[in-house]
Amino acid sequence: MSFKAFIPSSAPNWLQGINGTKLLEAIGVSFDRQINATREAVLVRFPNLAPSDGLPAIGNERRLERGALETEADYRARVYRAWDDWALAGGGQSLLRVLRSQGYPNTALVQQNGILYTLDGPGNVLLSDLGANPLLPGSPPWWTFTNNDLFWNRFAVIFYPPFPFSWTSIVSPPTSVSAPSDSEIGIIARAVTTWKPGKALCMGIFVLLDGQSIGYPVRIIGNGTTIVPFGSINGGAVVRFDC
Amino acid sequence: MPTLALEPGVNVSTALTLAELFVTQNEDQIREQLLATLRANGFPVTDWYAGSVGRTIVELVSSALADAIAGDPAQSNGLIPQITSAGYVDFAELLDTDSVQRRWLTLLARELYKLDRFAATRTTGTIVLTCATGAGPISISNRQLTFSSLATGNRYVGPTEAGPLLLPDGGTLSFTIESEFPNDSLGNPPLNYVDASGTVTSMVTVLAGVTANNPAPVFSPVSLVGIGSGIVTPTPTAPGAVTPTSVAILITSDGQQGISTWSLSLNGLAYVAQGTTPVSYNVPATNITIGFTNGFSSPSFRVNDLYTFAAPGSFVISQGTDEETNKALATRCRSRWPDLSDVPTADVYDLWSRQATPQVTLVKSYADAIIPGRVNVIVAGQAGSLPAGVIATVQSYINVRQPITDKAVVASATPTVITLAGTVTVSSAKLAIAQQAAQINVAIYINSVGIGGTLRVSAIIEQIMIGDGTIDVSGLTINGAGNLTLSANSVSSFVQVLATSLTWVTS
């Protein structure tokens, strides 16, 4: 029961006339206003009840930065899921889910020792084995970053088309007016470095502008078919950002 | 409006913003709201004179609500803003501004994250007593003696060993001393037990025929971050003192001694290419000679190997630290989330390093670019670099936690001595207050700049200007120049006394 209703109801009969009731109701409203604020002061600490300006503080406490393209609803859900998501930190699924939630669904991870990570529709991780390098007979399956095939802990993040609509000027290094901007790329890079294993060496965030794949052998991530060795097209069809 | 369905038909929602909840309503505001409601209910509130029944009721209700719920106007934060703050690690320290000093973040950290705030610790180090012939032997019991530094006045007590220890006639005795109090560099007066070797020589507890000194090795141990087996050895070029210097040697190409190339950085300044590694190299104007020796592998020196050392070394065994700051405790709380995973991320290595010992206040970890699976964990303490014993403690803590195929290598950050210069204009009546505030605020800022971070002139000026009575700061330089970006594995070391090293002008 509100104080607006309670105070008049508990008043003596002589104070329950029209004016007395209105006076006590007004006093009750003042009490209700403060009580409600006190109640909300407790509730706003919870992810599903935090106001828009309180959500980033909870996210920051849970080491979750909101993506530049992430909706408030998606971010709120991610902050709420922190217990589950952080338990899987360091895995490919967790990083890809973070990037998907931040507004980048067409994202993959490739690691040098021959595994490709993607997500299916519901967000479950799909692992694919990469093939052997046709230019290096006898070599194990691995993604080419350099000719050093011993570096099993190297990986990269790959963005493939279609990109977010806002990405209209993809240049590296990004600037305050490029799209994505330096701020947006910074958020992506922090997500990668925060969610990767400490020992994993990120070789870059690669944006495949025309859907081409990079590295050997054929691994079509996007919708292209041209296979070009990594390095020779850096600055061309592929834009690389630092992690 | 955020709404949560707790169960069918039962919803919980919030309508106020955080900004609204952080505003403390005072009695006047509550009264105005009440009057507005009464006015809307048809009451002629503008006709109510002071002391009338209606006006008195309004005053009583407003006053009661202001005192009981909205907040005490005498305090900076009312009850509702405090309840709001209490739910967030980021805002919990706002509660510390009330008169009770409830240390809400301490409670939050303990009850939500199972983390206790680190208490302040004492500095420990080694002292050497020398007994004149005929004055001994002397039996010394636990904590019998008090020493002090002639430079800072800091007092130390020892021996901390159970004892009794015997100082032989005509001989020497080494034992461990600890600071008289835990560190409290921001206290009044500040207790900052950062003392150079050779300065703790005054015996407060006099022993006839006995002298004391806290000598330190000429050089700190050489730290290597890299994969090479090459050996770098510092020695004095000639008898005599060496110039206090922090030295960083970066190998820039693979090879044995004489083949590999290297660059040299002194005191955190830019690296300067030196050509091929010589047998020995005399660092100009320092009395330091650096020797290069091949190790067990070939090539011994590998590109990106980083050797660091400082001159002089330190008598310190463990550096005292202040009580853990809210910022540091909040950082550990946040790192609890990544710690939920079985896979250690960079945040987890950060947390492990801090958990290993309160002496670690800054951490930077990153995957090695040369050795697969290796994680370089660079740590620093309140006084900058950390002694070998602390590094070993952190390494041991991580060793039992890191997963198979991870190889964490802990190393101390290289200290970069920070020296400020400039002119500060202050009100003559407030010179001492301004100097003390500048010392504390600048130290807080410099110590908060992370490993490999950038010290900014504007930020330091801002910290100095906080002091009451400070009018202007001009010509401020950091190590003789403008903004200073520390090298990748370097941390700032700030022990300068600003009251005597800056130019203070009164007006």
The DSSP result for B181-201, as a single string, is S--BTTSSS-B-----TT-EE
Helix (H/G/I), strand (E/B), else coil: B373: coil
User: Picking from A149-158, A233-242, B40-49, B139-148, which range would have the lowest pLDDT averaged per residue?
Assistant: A233-242
Sign of CA dihedral B371, B373, B374, B379: positive
Token readout for A90 is 């360091």
Banded pLDDT at B12 (limits 50, 70, 90)? confident
CB B322, CB B183: distance < 8 Å: yes
Banded pLDDT at B499 (limits 50, 70, 90)? confident
Which amino acid is present at A184?
E
Helix (H/G/I), strand (E/B), else coil: B505: strand
Q: Which residues of B touch A60 (CB under 8 A)?
A: 90, 334
Token readout for B404 is 């198979």
Sign of CA dihedral B35, B37, B38, B43: positive
pLDDT at B496: 80
Which amino acid is present at A221?
I
Using one digit for the tens of pLDDT, what is the confidence trace for B446-475? 888 889 999 999 999 999 998 888 999 999
Place of tokens 């694919």: A128
Using one digit for the tens of pLDDT, what is the confidence trace for A134-144? 555 566 666 77
pLDDT at B99: 41
Closest-approach residue (CA) in chain A for B374: A199
Other CB atoms within 10 A of residue B474 CB: 11
Phi-psi category of residue B469: left, alpha or beta, with phi > 0 → left and psi -120 to 50 → alpha: left
pLDDT at B95: 66
Strands B414-417 and A107-111: unpaired
Q: What is the mean pLDDT of chain A?
A: 84
Other CB atoms within 10 A of residue A162 CB: 11
Q: Which residues of A touch B334 (CB under 8 A)?
A: 60-63
CA distance A208 to chain B (A): 25
Report the distance separating Cα B225 and Cα B410, nearest Å: 9
Residue of A37, A86, A195 with shortest CB distance to B80:
A37
Considering the entire predicted model, what is its pTM? 0.79
Q: Which residues of A touch B79 (CB under 8 A)?
A: 38
Report the percentage of chain A scoring pLDDT > 90.
54
CA distance B355 to chain A (A): 17
Report the distance separating Cα B420 and Cα B278, nearest Å: 35
Angle (CA) A139 A144 A150, round 5°: 55
Token readout for A155 is 């990986």
Report the distance separating Cα A108 and Cα A105, nearest Å: 9
B339-372 as b/e: b if 16+ CB within 10 A: bebebbbbbbbbbbbbbbbbbbbbbbbbbbeebb
Which amino acid is present at B460?
I
pLDDT average, residue stretch B241-262: 91
Banded pLDDT at B437 (limits 50, 70, 90)? confident
Angle (CA) B467 B331 B451, round 5°: 70
Using one digit for the tens of pLDDT, what is the confidence trace for B322-369? 899 888 899 999 999 999 999 999 999 999 999 999 999 999 999 988
Q: How many beta-carbon pairs below 8 A join chains A and B?
A: 180
pLDDT at A226: 41
CB contact under 8 A, A86 and B341: yes
Strands B420-426 and B503-506: parallel
DSSP bridge pairs for B130: B172, B211
pLDDT at B102: 54
Q: Does B352 reach chain A within 8 Å, measured CB to CB?
A: no
Report the distance separating Cα B491 and Cα B507, nearest Å: 36
The more confidently predicted of residues B244 and A229 is B244
Report the distance separating Cα B67 and Cα B57, nearest Å: 15
CB contact under 8 A, B89 and A29: no
Q: Which residues of A touch B2 (CB under 8 A)?
A: 48-51, 76
User: Picking from A182-186, A200-204, B178-182, B491-495, which range would have the lowest pLDDT averaged per residue?
Assistant: B491-495
| Residues A84/A89/A95/A99 CA torsion (nearest 10 deg) | 50
Using one digit for the tens of pLDDT, what is the confidence trace for B31-53? 999 999 999 988 998 888 888 88
Residue of A41, A50, A197 with shortest CB distance to B343:
A197
Q: Does B60 reach chain A within 8 Å, measured CB to CB?
A: no
Best residue in A49, A86, A190, A199 to probe B by mutation, most B CBs within 10 Å?
Answer: A199
CB contact under 8 A, B343 and A89: yes
CB B304, CB B369: distance < 8 Å: yes
Other CB atoms within 10 A of residue B74 CB: 6
Interface of A with B in 95-134 (CB under 8 A): none
B182: pLDDT strictly greater than 50? yes
pLDDT at B318: 84
Q: Which residues of B touch A25 (CB under 8 A)?
A: 41
Closest-approach residue (CA) in chain A for B70: A34
CA distance B42 to chain A (A): 9
**A43 phi, psi to nearest 5 deg:** -70, -30
Q: Does A44 reach chain B within 8 Å, measured CB to CB?
A: yes
- B27 burial via Cβ count (<10 Å: 0-12, 13-18, 19+): middle
Token readout for B326 is 């809210």
Rg of chain A taking only CA atoms, in angstroms: 27
Q: What is the ipTM of this complex?
A: 0.85
Closest among B19, B183, B168, B8 to A53, alpha carbons compared: B19
Banded pLDDT at B255 (limits 50, 70, 90)? very high
Report the distance separating Cα B430 and Cα B230, nearest Å: 56
Report the distance separating Cα B165 and Cα B163, nearest Å: 5
Banded pLDDT at B202 (limits 50, 70, 90)? very high
Closest among B37, B45, B486, B436 to B271, alpha carbons compared: B486
A236: pLDDT strictly greater than 80? no
User: Picking from B151-160, B187-196, B497-506, which range would have the lowest pLDDT averaged per residue?
Assistant: B187-196
DSSP letter for A159, please. E
Report the distance separating Cα B109 and Cα A131, nearest Å: 49
The more confidently predicted of residues B388 and B140 is B140
DSSP letter for B384, please. B
User: Picking from A22-31, A146-155, B125-134, B386-395, which range would have the lowest pLDDT averaged per residue?
Assistant: A146-155
